Structure 1
Amino acid sequence: MNDRGHTFDVANPKVAGALRHLSFLLHGKEAVLIRLLACVFAGGHLLLEDLPGLGKTTLALAAARLLGLRFGRVQCTNDLLPTDVTGLSVYKAETGQFEFHPGPVFNNLLLVDEINRATPKTQSALLEAMGEEQVTVDGRSYALPRPFFVVATQNPVEHAGTFPLPESQMDRFMIKASIGYPSRDAERRILRLGPQKEDLFAFPALFSAEEIADLQGRIERDVRVDDRILDYVLDLAERTRDQPMLEGGISPRGAMMVLRVARALAWMRGRDYVVPEDVRFLAPEVLAHRLQPARGTTSSREDILQAILDTVPIP
């Protein structure tokens, strides 16, 4: 499986099965499928920036089915309220008490569609959920189910009626990626076969929520990171902070995200240790959206980051 000239070989048979089933629905889009699964096993969240109609909802539904996760969805609009996401307390006259009614955030996999059409106040309702795996309603905190995984989609920022995500919200997403248009052959297959959403309900559950939560802990605990890999990640972070074309570089949280993804990729490849290629494989999608270009800079975040990746020595 190729990605930017790199080969990704999946050793875990369950992960390979999940990729096979997902590829049936999103033919030729293995790259974004790897990113989604890496996010899940690393315990992160995924942001997809794409035009409508490219299969984002189908991808999230199929992933929930294959991973054995309870699915919820929020369709964002500019009149969406924070309680539409988190839930609210309702007064019960018969008991004289307030009863909490959980919102869609109380699912294992939450699809937040067109997140940048929601107002900043509603966007912020997801911050606590994504960062702390809990929500606070009327002064009381409620723990979210584990695992908790957000797949959010956003329209390109130049579209009308959008509210750009602030840096603090962007930083909560482990990976930012896109599906993109299908190839001509893949689109011909889509047109020939028509909608295939019904097929995903026949997919087997290859994992369970409990198994995913256990795997996340085992990957974090058992996949080893050598000091040379730590120094390599630190070198990358420091180079972004010293780069004159950037006002803000990679934070310690961003560096930790790189290591979590690298551990997940190593596990998916059948290893219990991280190699430099695990760090570099998804570094652009983990780091680029966390950079802040300086005023007047014409180069994109991705180009600046790629230049740094090309110059920092690989251990």
Structure 2
Amino acid sequence: MVGLPADMGFEKGGEEAVEIALPDGTIMKMCPESYASFILFPMLTSLVNGRIVMLGDPGLGKTQIATLMGQMTGLPLPAIRAGMVNGHPQLTMADLFGNLDLAEYAKGNISPVWRDIVKSRFRFVNEFNRIPTKTQSGLLAALAEQFVELFNSTFEMKDAPWFFTANEANGGGTYQVIAALWDRMDASVRATPVNAHYLEKARGIDNRADFPEHLRLSEEETKVINKRIEGLPVDKAAEERLTYFFSQLNACEKAAEDVNHRFKSHIVEGEKRGDALWSGAHDDANEYIGAQIENTVGTRIYFSIIRYAKALAWFRGKEQVETEDIAAVLPAVMSHRIKPNRSAQAEDRWAWVSKLWQKAMDRYDERERNTDRLSLARLKEELGTIPLSDQPARIEQYMKEFTAQMDGSAGIEELLSMKLLYEETMRKVKEQGITLIARPRPPRPPRHRGKAGGTILTPEEVLAMHQAGRMPAIGSWVRIPGMDLLVSPHTVTNKEIGKWMKKGGYKRDEGWSEAGGKWREEEKIVRPAYWDVPRFNQPEQPVVGFSWYEAEAYLGSKGLMFLTEAQWEEVARGGLRGKTYPWGDEEPTAELAHFEQPGNTGAPLNVTQLFRPNNYGVFHMAGNVWQWCQDCHDSNKNTKVLRGGSWSRAAVLLRVAYRGYYAPDGRFNGIGCRAARTP
């Protein structure tokens, strides 16, 4: 096979990939170590005795690739063809696995004549999506149990690779392939046309007849390679990342009241398309990857990933599996096994799976940068320093602290792991006859996060993230140079207010001033003014219709504060003295700020939408939404200062020096707020 594009690649030996930008913004990479997935994954399947389905239109070489892989296992062409089954609508179990032995039947015995596919060390089912459902069920049993039962006889099959093809790229065909059979496929690849540049070279070549002898593997050689692959270790950090990825995919806060059942597997099938995958203003599909898929990702997929990652690492000559190997095999192993939810942009399944992984890894890295974050790993480290008699009480206390930092569905699986650790520890205590001693817990080291929590970044770190096409997470902070001050890089979002509301923000008195509480009761305020308006209520949009009184209560309940007017202007300027706007003197454009102009979206932008920060790493200090300040306006002591302009106001109001004001109970759809705190 020649002319297939290399669609997978790795940097190698310090040599970086070359990037070519296409007009639509897509980046094509040319890597020093590169492979064509349509060839690589069938090869890996042969080496680990996996199951792979090759998808694509007729004439793209699926059957030829499968035949080549059969030759690589050392089988001659006649044996490969004898072991191949072509799917068709009338295919029966007997056609697939064996017929009645008529000679034995004449003697009064009922037994089968087994077909070559059950005896071979290479198995190939062509166009398996044309097989009737009943026969698919028999095939599923053979894949699951590694034996075939026919005419009261049983044949135990040797471990061997299975190759399947389907002529339609989406897997459709004469019969719908049953979900359980899809799940038994370790990997899937899509056929790619031969590049036109190579068509002349490809003419007249028969790769099946000309297969190089030195590439054929004997049965013994295949076993040795398989054993080496199986024994390849997995880097602990890489395995932790994969485990985290799975925990994010499966947990679902709203699946059940019982925390032990808060997984998508506990949602009634017909309700998985509804609101069950979202949790109020968080767990939205834009941030929480678990909300993008409907089905549960099981352990079979996990072990397929490990299996193929080991094979890839061995093939690349590595001594252990690393994160890049896991990331490389994920699309092939998962794209045919997970079901996108209604909001998922999953037209290209391979790219979509890679994006899910990258989003999870960004969140994982953000979490790891927070040195004070509670986690199962850190709990285990701490338990290693205290006596067994003290450990149950410490785990219990640690779990209580951990739940305070949980965000929607994220953390549910880790919390349940702590519960299992507690139960295991209690069993050890009882087995050893140890009396539990209630000792005072040693004080925790002081936290730099304070009540509000969140990762603290420098302006340089935010600017580097922006340069790399990433945005700081909601809930993070920027340390302002020369000031004893931490400022949120984003204005307060609907997601954050939703969590506050869920904890009784409008019902409890915490944070509410006397004037604000009185206004709340008299006006029966229970939510922001535009909370139920789709144009303004998306989780990552800044909260609007949020009065100064409401902002005061929210910030006060979390130990946060408004910026004073002087602080706001200092932060907005970002170190640029005497300039008109946060970015300098250049007149506002759509690339610099979101304000009233032709083509305006008619609503605030999501705060995590890639946008340009100022030099202090703070976003939207001009435009998007007005920001309440602590101060009263000097022209009217009954009003509060507003700064920054908004999505619905003219460019002239974006000037750093411009001062607006509004009544503290005002709830306009262009007014939000920004949080600040001391370090």
TM-score (norm 1): 0.83
Residue pair 1:239, 1:308 contacting (<8 A) in 2 also: no
Q: Deviations over 1:286-314 (max 9, x none)?
A: 11111112346553444542222112237
Given the superposition, is the C-alpha separation of residues 143 and 205 from structure 1 closer, same or farther in structure 2, using an over 3 Å criterion? farther
**1:156-235 correspondence runs (5 A):** 156=168, 162-190=174-202, 193-197=203-207, 199-200=209-210, 203-204=213-214, 206-220=216-230, 222-235=231-244
**1:4-43 correspondence runs (5 A):** 4-6=8-10, 30-43=36-49
Q: Deviations over 1:98-126 (max 9, x none)?
A: 34211242222222111111111122222
Residue aligning to 2:166: 154
How many angstroms apart in 1 are the aligned matches of 2:222 and 2:114?
Answer: 23
Unpaired runs of 5+ residues, structure 1, are: 10-27
Which of 1 and 2 has greater Rg?
2
Unpaired runs of 5+ residues, structure 2, are: 14-33, 252-289, 366-679
Residue aligning to 1:24: none
Residue aligning to 2:65: 59
Given the superposition, is the C-alpha separation of residues 279 and 8 from structure 1 closer, same or farther in structure 2, using an over 3 Å criterion? farther
- Is 1:84 the counterpart of 2:95? The answer is yes
- Is 1:305 the counterpart of 2:314? The answer is no
Once the 2 structures are TM-superposed, how far is the Cα of residue 73 of structure 1 from its aligned partner?
0.8
Q: Deviations over 1:65-106 (max 9, x none)?
A: 122145221111101111111113324256432342112422
Structure 1 counterpart of 2:346, which letter? S
Given the superposition, is the C-alpha separation of residues 185 and 119 from structure 1 closer, same or farther in structure 2, using an over 3 Å criterion? same
Match of 1:128 among 141, 153, 178: 141
Once the 2 structures are TM-superposed, how far is the Cα of residue 201 of structure 1 from its aligned partner?
5.7
Q: Deviations over 1:35-59 (max 9, x none)?
A: 1111122221110111111112222
Once the 2 structures are TM-superposed, how far is the Cα of residue 157 of structure 1 from its aligned partner?
6.5
Please identify runs of 4+ aligned residues in structure 1 that moved more than 6 A.
157-160
**1:270-309 correspondence runs (5 A):** 270-295=317-342, 297=344, 299-300=346-347, 301-309=349-357
Residue pair 2:99, 2:113 contacting (<8 A) in 1 also: yes
Given the superposition, is the C-alpha separation of residues 195 and 303 from structure 1 closer, same or farther in structure 2, using an over 3 Å criterion? closer
Given the superposition, is the C-alpha separation of residues 179 and 159 from structure 1 closer, same or farther in structure 2, using an over 3 Å criterion? closer
Residue aligning to 2:312: 265
3-state SS of the aligned residue for 2:110? strand
Residue pair 2:57, 2:191 contacting (<8 A) in 1 also: no
Larger mean Cα displacement after TM superposition, 270-279 or 160-169:
160-169
Structure showing greater relative contact order (alpha-carbon pairs closer than 8 Å, 6 or more residues apart): 1
Structure 2 counterpart of 1:312, which letter? A
Structure 2 counterpart of 1:262, which letter? A
How many angstroms apart in 2 are the aligned matches of 1:181 and 1:203?
Answer: 27
Once the 2 structures are TM-superposed, how far is the Cα of residue 218 of structure 1 from its aligned partner?
3.3
Residue pair 1:49, 1:154 contacting (<8 A) in 2 also: yes
Structure 2 counterpart of 1:215, which letter? I
Larger mean Cα displacement after TM superposition, 150-159 or 253-262:
150-159
Q: Identity, % of aligned pairs? A: 23
Q: What is the root-mean-square deviation of aligned Cα atoms in Å?
A: 2.8
Given the superposition, is the C-alpha separation of residues 101 and 206 from structure 1 closer, same or farther in structure 2, using an over 3 Å criterion? same
Residue pair 2:68, 2:208 contacting (<8 A) in 1 also: no
Residue aligning to 1:25: none
Larger mean Cα displacement after TM superposition, 114-123 or 301-310:
301-310
Given the superposition, is the C-alpha separation of residues 288 and 30 from structure 1 closer, same or farther in structure 2, using an over 3 Å criterion? closer
Structure 1 counterpart of 2:359, which letter? T
3-state SS of the aligned residue for 1:85? helix
How many angstroms apart in 2 are the aligned matches of 1:258 and 1:160?
Answer: 25
Q: Deviations over 1:130-188 (max 9, x none)?
A: 22322111343211134x11111102277985222122111111111012111111223
Q: Deviations over 1:213-246 (max 9, x none)?
A: 34223321x2011332221111222222241121
Given the superposition, is the C-alpha separation of residues 239 and 42 from structure 1 closer, same or farther in structure 2, using an over 3 Å criterion? farther
- Is 1:245 the counterpart of 2:292? The answer is yes
Q: Deviations over 1:246-291 (max 9, x none)?
A: 1113211101100001111111122231111111112111111111
